[in-house]
Amino acid sequence: MNDRYSRQVLFPGIGKEGQAKISKKHVLIIGAGALGSGSSEILTRAGVGKLTIIDRDYVEASNLQRQQLYTEEDVLEKLPKAAAAEKRLGAINSAVEIRAIIGDATPELLEELVAGVDLMLDATDNFETRMMMNDISQKYNIPWIYGACVGSFGMSFSIIPGKTPCLNCLLRTIPLQGMTCDTGGIISPAVQMVIAHQTAEAMKMLVEDWDAVRTSFVSFDLWRNQYTSLKMSKAKFAGCLSCGEERTYPYLDHENMTKTTVLCGRDTVQIRPSNKGEISLDNLAGQLSALGYTVKGNPYLLSVEIGAERMVIFQDGRALIHGTKDLTHAKSLYQRILG
Ligand SMILES: [Zn+2]
């Protein structure tokens, strides 16, 4: 497949030299939902050297409308998104080294994963993880590209440590916290538009064309036909705790990490155990079946029916409890099943 990248090499912004650079770079994508599916596919097709992708969820029918890597078979198998993405991306371009991680993006895990990473892409659905990425970016001097979408609205911003303001600086002028839940639904073109902005910026950074990187905060509404580009050159805040002189990286503080979270826009609570360690899903399935529970699973997870709720348990002991937003109730179910 010698002419595999010929059209990209013909593009003056990339050329042979740019392609050689792309093939040596390592990108970390946090999230393998709608944004992560699209950006990982584009970068895999573009021939990035190494791609690490992390996700905590598994494929469900409601994902298929916009999460382009997944199929009906993945839904039937309840495959974790990271595992399904790894399989699909590997089939698209076998020359790319793909590492998929099924798990939650904790500060501890991110600090381990960023070794040797040239660039991070935001494909998360929650504010906490984005702020964590922002601190990691500043601490390890790795650029990252913010992206978010809801409904027909989307936005993106490129963050280069030491050069641009960081996401924490931006919070002083733009209320980004409300932009994280997809309770109002979402259309796929809005996702694709954010992916296009993020991956174009990614390519500029991978070929080290730093002057081409967009310095404004871009947002759009594809249904209302609105496009805005906000200058951010004055947004850098000297007292910022993430990128200022007296920085403390507040979002990497392990104590600040919530262990029980209601997932965005869904009747689902996630519980992460405080003690790390793998559990044997086979043994657990046996015990639960003996107790009369209906249990289904695959090598990565177990799904257990508990009355009106359903609990999905991963190897690391993390669980998603579907059918509730009540944290106390979810914790009592977790206790009942995992002791
Ligand atoms: Zn800052």
Q: How far is the CA of 197 from the centre of ligand 1 (A)?
A: 22
Q: How far is the CA of 232 from the centre of ligand 1 (A)?
A: 12
Instruction: Answer whether 188's CB lies under 8 Å from 66's CB.
Output: yes
**pLDDT, tens digit, 9 for 90 and up, residues 62-84:** 999 999 999 999 999 999 999 99
Q: How far is the CA of 244 from the centre of ligand 1 (A)?
A: 6
Query: What pLDDT is recorded for position 68?
Result: 97
Q: Cα–Cα distance between 86 and 142 in angstroms, integer?
A: 24
As residues whose CB is below 5 A from the ion ligand 1, the structure lists 166, 168-169, 240, 242-243
Q: How far is the CA of 231 from the centre of ligand 1 (A)?
A: 16
Retrieve residue 182's tokens. Answer: 């997809």
- Mean pLDDT of all residues belonging to the chain: 92
Residue 173's identity, in one-letter code, is: T
Q: How far is the CA of 140 from the centre of ligand 1 (A)?
A: 14
Other CB atoms within 10 Å distance of the CB of residue 43: 26
What phi and psi values does residue 196 have, to the nearest 5 degrees?
-60, -45
| Residue 245 binned pLDDT confidence (cut-offs 50, 70, 90) | very high
Instruction: Answer whether 33's CB lies under 8 Å from 123's CB.
Output: yes
Q: How far is the CA of 168 from the centre of ligand 1 (A)?
A: 5
Q: How far is the CA of 164 from the centre of ligand 1 (A)?
A: 9
Average pLDDT over residues 238-253: 94
Q: How many CA atoms lie within 13 A of 103 on its CB side?
A: 18
Q: How far is the CA of 227 from the centre of ligand 1 (A)?
A: 25
Q: How far is the CA of 238 from the centre of ligand 1 (A)?
A: 8
In terms of residues, how long is the chain?
Answer: 339
Q: How far is the CA of 201 from the centre of ligand 1 (A)?
A: 20
**pLDDT, tens digit, 9 for 90 and up, residues 206-228:** 999 999 999 999 999 999 999 99
* pLDDT at 173 > cutoff 90: no
More confident residue, 292 or 86: 86
Q: Cα–Cα distance between 181 and 325 in angstroms, integer?
A: 14
Q: How far is the CA of 262 from the centre of ligand 1 (A)?
A: 27
Query: What pLDDT is recorded for position 166?
Result: 97
**pLDDT, tens digit, 9 for 90 and up, residues 23-51:** 999 999 999 999 999 999 999 999 999 99
Retrieve residue 60's tokens. Answer: 């469900």
Query: What pLDDT is recorded for position 217?
Result: 96
Q: Cα–Cα distance between 227 and 221 in angstroms, integer?
A: 7
* pLDDT at 179 > cutoff 60: no
**pLDDT, tens digit, 9 for 90 and up, residues 74-112:** 999 999 999 999 999 999 999 999 999 999 999 999 999
Q: How far is the CA of 124 from the centre of ligand 1 (A)?
A: 20
Q: Does pTM surpass 0.75?
A: yes
Instruction: Answer whether 96's CB lies under 8 Å from 50's CB.
Output: yes
* pLDDT at 317 > cutoff 90: no
Q: How far is the CA of 137 from the centre of ligand 1 (A)?
A: 11
Query: What pLDDT is recorded for position 327?
Result: 86
Q: How far is the CA of 251 from the centre of ligand 1 (A)?
A: 12
| Residue 1 binned pLDDT confidence (cut-offs 50, 70, 90) | low
Q: How far is the CA of 215 from the centre of ligand 1 (A)?
A: 15
Query: What pLDDT is recorded for position 181?
Result: 55
3-state SS, residue 213:
coil
Burial 118-155 (b: 16+ CB within 10 A, else e): bbbbbbbbebebbbbbbbbbbbeebbbbbbbbbbbbbb
3-state SS, residue 272:
coil
The CA–CA distances, whole Å, from 265 to 58, 92, 262 equal 16, 31, 9
Average pLDDT over residues 155-184: 84
**Most confidently modeled range among 119-133, 134-148, 162-176:** 134-148
Other CB atoms within 10 Å distance of the CB of residue 228: 11
Q: How far is the CA of 125 from the centre of ligand 1 (A)?
A: 21
Q: How far is the CA of 211 from the centre of ligand 1 (A)?
A: 21
3-state SS, residue 100:
strand
Q: How far is the CA of 248 from the centre of ligand 1 (A)?
A: 11
Instruction: Answer whether 30's CB lies under 8 Å from 122's CB.
Output: yes
Query: What pLDDT is recorded for position 19?
Result: 98
